[in-house]
Amino acid sequence: MSRHIYTLNRPAGWPHEEWREALPLGNGLTGVLMPGSIAAEHITFNRHDLWHGGNEGGEIPDISETFRAMREAVRRGDYTAANQDNLMAALNEAGYHAGPEVPYPLGWLNLTFTPEGMFRHYRRGVNMRTGEAFVTFEIGGCRYERRMFVSRACDAAVLRMTGEREFTALFDLALFSEEGEAEITDRSIRKASRDGDTAVNVLFRGDFRSEVRGDKIAVTGRDWTVLIRCSSHGSRLSLDDIAGESWESLLEKHTALYTPLYDAVDIELAGEEDFEASNEEMLDAAYDDEASPALIERLWRFGRYLFISAASGKGNPVPLYGLWHGADGLPWAQYVANENVEMTYWHVMAGGMAWAVPPLLRYYAAHLDKFRECARRIFGMRGIWISAYTTPNTAGPCVPVAVIGNWISCAGWLCRHFWEYYLYTGDEALLREEILPFMREAALFWLDYAEEDENGFLELLPSVSPENTPGNLLHLPTKSATGHPCPAVKNATMDFAVMKELFTNLLEGMRVTGLYADEAEEFRSALGKIPAYQINEDGAVKEWMDPGLTDNYAHRHLSHIYPVFPGNEVTAKSDPALFEAFRRAVHLRELGSQCNWSLTHMAAIYDRLGEGEAAAECLDLLAKSVLLPSLFTVCNDWRHMGMTLDWVNVPVQLDAVFGTVNAVQEMLFRWERTALSLLPSLPGRLKSGYVRGMAFPGGTVDIRWGEDGRGAVLIRAVRGVDTDVLVRGRLVGHIRLAAGESGTVEWNG
């Protein structure tokens, strides 16, 4: 079995929600979920732009007076008043009622097959290198197989049904929306919704006999292909352009586009023979002990496969469910950018997927007018304010929760991704035309928001550390409880960290482009007034930079660790004492307060701390608690084992899948401005391995290491490279290359 193929021994089994454990397929525009049932298969179809139920709320009322009252309440230490008169409540009382859209499934292709006996040798899985799903089984000594992919070349799903002897299968099509127009022949099905928003066209091709039976088609033969094309906005679909092509031809055209994206970076952590095990077998072994190197590699490959399948330069960026929402009204299905959007994209630059970042930038840049309106009418500020929750058609404050509505770091955190894109690609045109203007808008808001205290330092009033409350304020009653008693306080460490990073990068962008040069001194002056991070009596960096606010360690968010990760402001080299205080803050976090994405966030932080064993243990916890056989992750462990939050609801959240990709990559390689850091947090179980094509600003690296302590790195320069080379934090060489050159550094022990 290839390391690129994952298999399962059983079909999807989550009762009444089989989509959670289905095989996911996609091309960035159309998503498919294939549960793998033998007798009654319900294949789900989704589209990236199929959202409904939202309400933009109209013009935002001017509630800046409420904001100023909140600020004064925080200033005098009256946190009860500040949080009862929160911004979202003020919007509601002023008649502004917005709500986020949710994605919903387009429809289902239902397949019915009547087995003539007991099945044997059942397997299903995905070839992640080609993007094909498969289901195979035997009945009466006869082998049957279904294979399916979603083409990046022609935006159509292609299903192939084969058997070693003739068989009959019934097909029908169901739309989620109320059905309107329908056309059924013995070779095709076409249905459109009554509102004209969605449509599906299905065409059967091959050597078979067929007949219409009511609203179903019965197909009899040994080998045929089904072509499916979906539409979300009413366009009448045709399959004429591909109707004459063979399965092999369609697959070849798809893989010509898809496989190079998957192959851009490669990691090998185990031998080929270790990948014979199914997902269930790997997870059982991890449940009994720890995640094997093969499982860690499989999780990396799956997350990479899933992201590419959900991302396209033509579609929306990747939301929390990707393209695989198997039901309507799913929780947290939007673009949630107080952690989750960012985690989804952490891995892409080092992973050679820079092409995925401009669609994220343009998704947010398309709503700049609304974001300016938010800043002006809610806060009385210039620039932009972005709500943590947005959807394609809802960009204002649409979630009436104080911990969301009072948080100010969203735009600044997103800017980190856009700046990283420039650093890695050197795309000065995009920096000048789109990235820097966006960063400036975010920075203008901070410039207006921050005020000087009596000592000349900046203070931020109010300020939220997502989604936490200081320990000494957990008892306070508020108007908007929702599990967040008192989020709006002052001087959240994360807010200052994001502000510092944004201003620093903006000033560098101004230097590179010459843009906004007349504003540089104002930003430089503000940067110099940001106060130093504070340390509490436990020796840990404080989450709020105020002596009157105590830390709350029982929380899943680790926002105040931002200067170590995802930022890179504080390192063991730049400030050893402060770095150790951040380490202490991480060690004090309580295990039972975590969830799926916080475990992968914690793994990445441990990577930055150089604690590879702790990072690997986070992946062990993930495998034991929230990882389904499909390799989808759910928010919390429903089996009450004490490893995560203990909630009744168990929503799917795929951001942790993508966070795992980043955590594994950071174990193996990290760019540190003046050094290429190889194997910086390698856990002991990864005794040998290979990395090919991992990216950094200026080039890529190939790394090999073995149990004997020997290793080598091949560095390919895209631009000039002049850098130290570190292995596990130890200097092993220095390399200087011109663009187009390559060089090798070896080490022993």
Residues 215 and 236 in one domain: yes
Whether the link from the prior residue into 566 is cis, omega within 30° of 0, is: yes
Residues 117 and 88 in one domain: no
pLDDT in tens, 256-308: 999 999 999 999 999 999 999 999 999 999 999 999 999 999 999 999 999 99
DSSP 26-95: E-SSEEEEE---SSEEEEEEEETT-EES-B--SSPP--HHHHHHHHHHHHTT-HHHHHHT-HHHHHHHTT
Residues 258 and 329 in one domain: no
Q: Which of 263, 279, 302 is the last residue of a domain?
A: 263
Q: In the chain, how many domains are there?
A: 3
Residues 76 and 28 in one domain: no
Residues 256 and 389 in one domain: no
Q: Which of 213, 247, 263 is the last residue of a domain?
A: 263
Q: Identify which of 201, 158, 162, 161 has the alpha carbon closest to the alpha carbon of residue 181.
A: 201
Q: Domain for residue 567, yes or no?
A: no
Q: In the structure, how many helices (H) and strands (E) does the chain have? A: 19, 28
Residues 518 and 437 in one domain: yes
pLDDT of residue 197: 85
Q: In the structure encoding, which two tokens stand for residue 631, read together? A: 């390799």
Q: What is the pTM of this model?
A: 0.96
For CA atoms 326, 113, 221, 10, the dihedral sign is positive
Residues 175 and 252 in one domain: yes
Pinpoint the alpha helices (H) of 610-706.
612-625, 655-668
Phi/psi at 326 (nearest 5 deg)?
-90, 5
Q: Domain for residue 498, yes or no?
A: yes
Alpha carbon distance 126, 124 (integer Å): 7
Q: Which domain holds residue 729?
A: 677-748
User: 293-310 vs 279-288: helix axis angle to the nearest 10?
Assistant: 130
pLDDT of residue 481: 45
Q: Identify which of 620, 470, 485, 601 has the alpha carbon closest to the alpha carbon of residue 548.
A: 470
Alpha carbon distance 215, 394 (integer Å): 38
**What are the angstrom distances between the C-alpha of 605 and each of 271, 313, 567?**
28, 30, 10
Residues 536 and 396 in one domain: yes
The CATH number of residue 454's host domain is 1.50.10.10
**What are the angstrom distances between the C-alpha of 404 and each of 335, 361, 568, 737?**
13, 21, 25, 47
Check if the beta carbon of residue 7 is closer than 8 Å to that of residue 130.
no
Q: Domain for residue 185, yes or no?
A: yes
Q: Report the residue count for the chain.
A: 749
Q: Domain for residue 198, yes or no?
A: yes
Q: Domain for residue 34, yes or no?
A: yes
Residues 185 and 229 in one domain: yes
Phi/psi at 609 (nearest 5 deg)?
-80, -5
pLDDT of residue 469: 87
Please state the separation of Cα 514 from the chain's center in Å: 34
Check if the beta carbon of residue 112 is closer than 8 Å to that of residue 170.
yes
Q: Which residues of the chain have pLDDT under 50?
A: 479, 481
Alpha carbon distance 407, 160 (integer Å): 49
Q: Domain for residue 293, yes or no?
A: no
The CATH number of residue 137's host domain is 2.70.98.50
CB atoms within 10 A of CB 97: 12
Question: What are the DSSP E strand ranges found in 101-198?
Answer: 102-103, 107-113, 119-127, 132-139, 142-150, 157-175, 179-184, 188-193
Q: Which of 542, 568, 587 is the last residue of a domain?
A: 542
Check if the beta carbon of residue 373 is closer than 8 Å to that of residue 380.
no
**Bridge partner residues of 737 (DSSP):** 721
Q: Domain for residue 165, yes or no?
A: yes
Residues 131 and 43 in one domain: yes
pLDDT of residue 476: 75
Give the dihedral of Cα atoms 263, 267, 272, 275; nearest 10 deg. -90
Q: Identify which of 681, 701, 693, 708 has the alpha carbon closest to the alpha carbon of residue 744.
A: 701
pLDDT of residue 313: 85
Beta-strand relationship, 23-26 and 179-184 = unpaired
Residues 343 and 433 in one domain: yes
Residues 66 and 211 in one domain: no
Alpha carbon distance 417, 602 (integer Å): 19
Q: Domain for residue 602, yes or no?
A: no
